[in-house]
Structure 1
Amino acid sequence: MVTTSRRQFLQAGIGLAAASGFASPNLVAQEPGDRPKRSDLVRVLNPKTRVPLSFIIDDSTCLVNLAHFCIPQFAEVFPDQYLQPWQELPREIPDSFVRSFGEWCHDHGVKGKYSIVPYPACVGWIDREMPGWSRRQLEDSLQLVRTLMMPDWDIHPEMITHTWAINTKTGRPYEERTERFMENWGFSVGKSVDELTDYFAYALRLLKNVGLPCEGVTTPGGFGSRVLPELSQATFESVRDVFGAEIPHYFRHLYTDDRSVAPRVEYASGLDGDDPRCVVSIIGCTGDWFGGWDGLTPGSVDQFITEDLKGGRLPEVIDRGEPAVLVCHWPGIYFNGDELGFNIFKEIVARLNAAYDNLIWMKNSEIARYWAARELTTISADADQVSFRAPYACPGFTVEVDGPPPGLPTLQGADGASISLREVRGPLQLDHGTWCRTTQGSIVCFDLSKGPSRLVWKTDA
């Protein structure tokens, strides 16, 4: 039985392709684009000086257990690799579990990304019919996503089927049944920005048809791994075109080694104009150590964070201040009804809460917005003020300022209106509209507005 995830399999394949001359050696080096000048006296910190957490859920959709239906399709292409007993897997992940999971996560402040595969394994369309379920069951499932999941989770298409590629002119799978026409493997290879944009937009429109707005996309398996520049640009074009999202983002990369997992802000341009542009790559930092993409491989809490709260992957990332983005597959969270993956996640959250007091759960889109503002805002400093020119608004924007004179900071907008900021005891008490003193100067947390604004220090009365 294969235990390697599809995403890990394709990541390994990138190295082989590069060695064979089929891929660029700079696959992960998409263009950053423009960057503004910055004062050395000001540093942008994590939001509210906390380390972001986020939970990425792949292979999720309405009702369908994707593992049950996709394994025989994968086996058509790789019959020696996909030997899982798919007939024994449940065909459905019920809405009762979605409700239980979503309510628990909401009560514990968990946020992240939740895929909705729009035509899962060619079973049925989320905006039409899902054979095996009534129209009412499908609509109830969609309504549950709208009301329970959307407040705390970004919704992404994970391409169209997660298996066979679709001809967007006909809405039907291509007739050739080879790796070349599998979304997970060869379909994206050699595709242009325009071709990928068309494919992404098709998936996004299906979600739009059922009232599920998106600010980003997720790639299934190895989709896009050999056309990363095109993938990034097509994400921007399609998400901006279908939903008008200001800062499109995507999930493609997952690293469990010593590489940085900080988000990458790519193809930035127009920072001083009315139409700034960028796309953000959200990077996962864990493997699927919950229950696997097929719901057959039991995971372990200790791989994420050990019982003594010191070891595991998450402390490695959190302790260096980078966003800790956990990655799972929905069938493994449900784990054939035993909810083993869900219970692992509950224990992870409990251990994180016991180990840290400086974490903040965020959606992928919220992380993308913060990193775009963090990297693309022009910042200058004078004797008693810090000036900002921001291409994007950003709540909870947090900066550390060296050496301002003793006094009280005031936030001034472009219209000249002033907002007094409240002093708090220390960094972990920071919230919107507050500041604290440090040995070097001060840390200020405020809602950054798009365009010009400034912090002005006034002498203590």
Structure 2
Amino acid sequence: MASISRRRFLQVGAAALSTTLGRNVGWTFQPPGERPPRAPEVTVLNPRCRVPVSLIIDDSTCLVNLAHFAMPQFAEVWPNRAEYQKPWRQFPREIPDAFVQKFMAWCGENGVKGKYSVVPYPACVGWLDCDLPGWSHQELERSLRIVREEIMPHWDIHPEMVTHTWVINTKTGRPYEERSQRFMENWGWSEGRSAEELTEYIAYALNILKNAGLRCEGITTPGGFGSRARPQLSIATLEACRDVFQVEIPHYFRDVFTGAESVAPRVENASGLEGPEPRCVVSIIGCTGDWFGGWDGDTPGSPDKFITPDLASGRMVEVITREEPAVMVCHWPGMFFNGRELGFQILQEVVKRLHARFENLIWMNLSEIARYWAAKELTSIAIAGQQVAFTAPFACPGFTIELSGKLQKVPEFSHESQRVVFQEVSGWRNLRPGTFFQKNQGDKDRYVFCFDLPKGKSSITLG
């Protein structure tokens, strides 16, 4: 990878880690970094007053059925665990591209978006930027072309580290000789690693996908990768994604919460908000277990845990009702389910029920969610008279705010020399960028505005 300035790296790492000193920082929280002033009269709402929903697909890659190849490697480390003693030889070695295309075509028809992992060196079978033994080079190139042309336009692509099994020595490109949990990506290797070491490893994975023609704005951690090195993981994601792909707002998927805790994205390590190079990284939180088909493609799930047949309850109903991003989690072998496609059928039923129950959903991929939350938390908002002023380190489409006041004329949005008159609409269902509507609450007039927030300074004039 291109070299990262060690001085710059140590400055970022020291600043972030020092934020944790003297605090009782929980294992789910990383250093938030800078936060700008915010007028208390203004509330940033969900985009267009809708609740983001998304789908995280783990353990996916080109052609390789990771469950078939990874299970014996997991069993080598944990020979007494029943989950690794399944008849993996009977699992198909391939998840065919025909299923990928069928799945993505249905997602396109139903608006489903999210994240699709592409493991760069899946279970040490072969390198996606070179050759995949067991498949011809033409088959690999066709599979990569499907990812580029049919998945990337609407889905984020993530490496799920290098192999999802054995740790690779980045100097040799080979697995380390020791075969223990300490040298498994899923378990002990990341514990005690510095941010610089994790950055090198993550960048190694990103560069393989870059060589294969895939762009990534974030990463997914395999299993327990980074679970005991969370501040370092946050910094490493920020540095590696910016270094390899010059990503403006890197993000990562590490955690799933299925209890009462918030599942809102965490904007971490924010710095330089008033300068020319603002920085942050966003942790995206999954809100469900894999209740589709399991990581092994052999664990039947049910749509009812997501949303019940009467549409009244279930985990997705719970999270959507409290208006937090509802990000479902699945594994690609479980979607395919050894050719029976059981996980896919469950997803189809879940989406059907969600669309029947809710009008206020907006499907977003993870980079879109990350951008919105970065803008939501890091944009400075001030009120002076009849003007609401914004200073945004990052641009954001569909930025939506609520404020109180009295309109003396049709409100206008200003940025540099441009002035745009807002159009009034009847309510949230018609809300789109450049529009607003009035909410009457007792004696107070409240207004909701939606606009494309530009980077830098802009304002809304109310009167």
Pairwise TM-score range, normalised by the shorter structure: over 0.9
- In the alignment, which residue of structure 1 is the partner of 2:111? 109
Q: How does 1:192-271 map to 2 (within 5 A)?
A: 192-271=194-273
Residue from 91, 110, 121 that aligns with 2:93: 91
CA drift of 1:407 comes to 2.7
Shift of 1:417: 1.2
Distance, in Å, in 2 between the alignment partners of 1:110 and 1:307 is: 20
Give the equivalent residue in structure 1 for 2:296. 294
How far does the alpha carbon of each residue in 1:209-266 deviate from its partner, in whole angstroms, 9 at most, with x for none? 0111100000000000000000000000000000000000000000001010000000
Task: Specify the alignment match of 2:323 in structure 1.
Answer: 321
- State the match for 2:351 in structure 1: 349
Deviation at 1:433, TM superposition (A): 1.2
SS in 2 for 1:222: coil
Q: For the residues of structure 2 that align with 1:65 and 1:424, how far apart are their CA atoms? A: 49
**Aligned match of 1:76:** 76
- 1:190 aligned residue: 192
Partner of 1:140: 142
Residue 385 of structure 1, CA deviation: 1.4
| RMSD of aligned Cα (Å) | 0.9
Other-structure match for 2:20: none
Deviation at 1:186, TM superposition (A): 0.5
Cα distance in 2 for residues equivalent to 1:115 and 1:169: 24
Residue type of the partner of 1:200?
I
Q: Distance in 2 between matches of 1:203 and 1:398?
A: 36
State the TM-score, normalized to the length of structure 1.
Answer: 0.93
Give the counterpart of 1:309 among 297, 308, 311: 311
d(CA) in 2 for partners of 1:332, 1:29: 30
Counterpart in the other structure of 2:461: 456
Q: Distance in 1 between matches of 2:181 and 2:318?
A: 37
State the partner residue of 1:398. 400
Matches of 1:309 and 1:400, distance apart in 2: 30
* Identity, % of aligned positions: 62
Deviation at 1:416, TM superposition (A): 2.3
Match of 2:133? 131
User: For each residue in 1:6-60, what CA deviation from the matched residue of structure 2 results, as whole angstroms up to 9, or x when unmatched?
Assistant: xxxxxxxxxxxxxxxxxx9722121011111111111100000000001000000
| 8 Å Cα contact 1:383/1:404 also seen in 2 | no
Q: Which runs of 4+ in 1 moved over 2 A?
A: 404-407
Unaligned runs of 5+ in 1: 1-23
CA shift, 1:457, in A, is 2.0
Give 1:419's aligned amino acid. Answer: V
| Per-residue CA distance 1:371-425 (angstroms, 9 max, x = gap) | 0000000001123111000000000000001113243111100x22101122111
**Is the CA contact 1:216–1:239 (under 8 Å) kept in the aligned structure 2?**
yes
Letter in 1 for 2:50: R
Q: Distance in 1 between matches of 2:63 and 2:214?
A: 16
- Residues 120 and 160 in structure 1, CA contact (< 8 A), matched pair in contact too: yes
Q: Which runs of 5+ in 2 are unaligned?
A: 1-23
How far apart are the structure 2 equivalents of 1:396 and 1:170?
Answer: 46
